[in-house]
Chain A
Amino acid sequence: METLPKKGPYRQALAAIRRINQSRIFIISFGIVIIILLIWRIVVVARQTPFPPQYWAFQIINGLVLGGVYALVALGYTMVYGILFMINFAHGEVMMMGGFAGFFTLQLLTTLGWTEGSPYLSALSILLVIAAGMIVSVLTGVALERIAYRPLRTAPRLVPLISAIGASFFLQYSALRIFGVTPHNYRKPELISGGWAIGETGIFVTRTGVFIFVTSILMMIGLFLIVKRSKMGRAMRAVAEDKEIASLMGVDIDKVIAFTFALGSALAGAGGVMFGFHNTVMRFNTGFIPGLKAFTAAVLGGIGNIPGAMFGSLLLGVIEALGPSALGVPTEYKDVIAFSILVLVLIFRPTGLLGEVLTEKKA
């Protein structure tokens, strides 16, 4: 290397190429080929079966709604990773537990006639459903941390990961045992059923969609305020950066970690309820795929990064909603599309789309 002259763009380029290792070049070429194929496919499909613009608008709205649900779950993955550098693989199940708590509360309130009472009573019952989901998820998440992760905090990083996978199965099969295999159907209150047509555009937005999206946004604003403005939020950020120094400032690390789990689980619980209203069914394994998707979204945005998780989730939701039509494949392929996006992002930007902050921190 030293023998190369310092000047000359050709020499510099050559040196740069030599520095990149071979396997990386292979992976990048592979990624480029996939992207070219995708673009080609999109163009071909668009020329064969053009959809009207309303259709696309409708899909984007759907995608944002789904993205909002993903965001509620993705934030928990990203916050826990930010503090413990650990993927809480049981987080999807934390969401599922909240979804079930919401279901039973909804059922109870429906029997009482609250959900179809006056608009105020109906709104109150929806709030109670969300609160029940959040509370049960918080209890699940905090217990999980206490039992499955805290004792392993000083163990090698793979160990808590295995414990997380075990916890995920434990929760799924406990739910199977308790709630059975039959799907539980969320009965939507009148208040959030139906929707509005926007003028003459032919675009239709559902009330459920608006409700889910607005709730997600409000929750994210709440989270942002807690993390940025509160004393506990400041302690969370300090612990994420340097645990030893934070404890030397008088921060009780255990408490902060438990709080982080509680916060992430509360959002996941709300996410479980939103998913219930969106998807209308709850099952013992309902948390699994959305959990994986939310994790994908968190990685997409840059894991450990809170705005990244929000952005990644909305993006993933939209990609999932548009992808099948754009590629002219059946909607069942939306999961394949979502996970392929993850692979592509990891090839080109291993730190995620908004991931610079993390690399800087780890350096």
Chain B
Amino acid sequence: MALLEVRDVHSYYGNIHALKGLSITVEEGEIVTLIGANGAGKTTTLRTICGVIKPRQGSVSLEGENLEPFKIHEIVYKGVALVPEGRRIFSRLTVYENLDMGAYHRIDNDGIAEDFDRVFVLFPRLKERRNQVAGTLSGGEQQMLATARALMAHPRLMLLDEPSMGLAPVLVESIFETIQEINREGTTILLVEQNAHMALQVAHRGYVLQTGEIVLDGTAEALRNNPMVQKSYLGIE
């Protein structure tokens, strides 16, 4: 059974029909990427999976369990964590408190302590600044914090919404390395990216989203070699 199954989902913002019968599956242990142009509905897909938006039609299920009746925080308890678009860290909390918020639903103190260590090894910069108010971090540091915060949830499924946005190339590199590392440690990942180059390098499989519909899917390699993907998303003529 797939870890995540999104089946024929229709999501709306008022009258705007943002997702038009979208279906995707993510198997345990995979990195799956969702690529698409601005406004294609990538963020909406992730928000629908987390329960922020309830689809009008279709279903989202985690290990076969339909998530429809659950509230957002209950879905978190089931092991889904999101790194939201635009970071959205708690700017008035300290770095440490932000990370602690990530682990809010957990009660295994030993596990939390281990994850603090792990996160500080991945992002030594955050360790140096752990008592600093998060609003005063640089943009890149805030992105690290947003990713680290989701890691603290120790999720089974991590949803990342454009984790490389606005970062220097070196940092993009290290964020993607981190993603692969997290994945090797057992976290399943659904990655939304504008940077299709990078995304298709780290992912096992991918979906191409256009105006609320999946128009293409396949292994990362197949997508990399697909002429349409090359032309529209990789900038290769």
Residues of A near any B CB (own CB < 8 A): 231, 234-235, 237-238, 241-242, 244-253, 357, 361
Quick one: which of B50, B91, B92, B97 contacts A248, CB cutoff 8 A?
Answer: B50
Chain A residues contacting B84 (CB-CB under 8 Å) are 245, 248
Task: Assess the A250–B76 pair: CB atoms within 8 A.
Answer: yes
Give 1 or 0 for each of B71-83: 1 = CB within 8 Å of chain A CB: 1110011000110
- Shortest A78–chain B CB gap in Å is 15
Query: A251 vs B101: C-alpha distance in the bound complex, in angstroms?
Result: 9
Chain A residues contacting B50 (CB-CB under 8 Å) are 248
Chain A residues contacting B101 (CB-CB under 8 Å) are 234-235, 238, 246, 249, 251
Chain B residues contacting A244 (CB-CB under 8 Å) are 52, 72
Chain A residues contacting B52 (CB-CB under 8 Å) are 244, 248
Task: Assess the A238–B93 pair: CB atoms within 8 A.
Answer: yes
Task: Assess the B77–A234 pair: CB atoms within 8 A.
Answer: no
- Shortest B176–chain A CB gap in Å is 23
Chain B residues contacting A235 (CB-CB under 8 Å) are 101, 104
Chain A residues contacting B88 (CB-CB under 8 Å) are 242, 245
Closest to A231 in B: B104
Interface centre among A244, A248, A251, A252 (most CB of B within 10 A): A248
Quick one: which of B72, B92, B149, B153 contacts A237, CB cutoff 8 A?
Answer: B92
Chain B residues contacting A357 (CB-CB under 8 Å) are 92
Count contacts on B: residues with CB < 8 A to the other chain. 23
Task: Assess the A241–B92 pair: CB atoms within 8 A.
Answer: yes
Give 1 or 0 for each of B82-98: 1 = CB within 8 Å of chain A CB: 10100010111100010
Quick one: which of B71, B91, B102 contacts A249, CB cutoff 8 A?
Answer: B102
Chain B residues contacting A242 (CB-CB under 8 Å) are 88, 90
Task: Assess the B93–A251 pair: CB atoms within 8 A.
Answer: no
Residues of B near any A CB (own CB < 8 A): 50, 52, 71-73, 76-77, 81-82, 84, 88, 90-93, 97, 100-102, 104-105, 149, 153
Query: A250 vs B72: C-alpha distance in the bound complex, in angstroms?
Result: 7
13 extra interchain contacts, Cβ-Cβ under 8 A, other than A237-B92, A241-B92? A238-B101, A241-B90, A241-B93, A246-B101, A247-B76, A248-B76, A249-B73, A249-B76, A249-B102, A249-B105, A249-B153, A251-B101, A251-B104
Task: Assess the A250–B92 pair: CB atoms within 8 A.
Answer: no
Query: A241 vs B101: C-alpha distance in the bound complex, in angstroms?
Result: 13
Chain B residues contacting A247 (CB-CB under 8 Å) are 71-73, 76
Can you give 29 A-B contacts (C-beta < 8 A)?
Answer: A234-B97, A235-B101, A238-B93, A238-B101, A241-B91, A241-B93, A242-B90, A244-B52, A244-B72, A246-B101, A247-B71, A247-B73, A247-B76, A248-B50, A248-B52, A248-B72, A248-B73, A248-B84, A249-B76, A249-B102, A249-B149, A250-B73, A250-B104, A250-B105, A251-B73, A251-B104, A357-B92, A361-B91, A361-B92
Closest to A357 in B: B92
Task: Assess the A250–B77 pair: CB atoms within 8 A.
Answer: yes
Quick one: which of A231, A238, A250 contacts B90, CB cutoff 8 A?
Answer: A238
Chain B residues contacting A248 (CB-CB under 8 Å) are 50, 52, 72-73, 76, 81-82, 84
Closest to B105 in A: A250
- Shortest A121–chain B CB gap in Å is 41
Query: A251 vs B73: C-alpha distance in the bound complex, in angstroms?
Result: 6
Quick one: which of A237, A241, A249, A253 contacts B104, CB cutoff 8 A?
Answer: A249
Lowest 4 CB-CB distances: which A-B pairs, in order?
A250-B105, A250-B76, A247-B72, A250-B104
Chain A residues contacting B77 (CB-CB under 8 Å) are 250
Chain B residues contacting A250 (CB-CB under 8 Å) are 73, 76-77, 104-105, 153
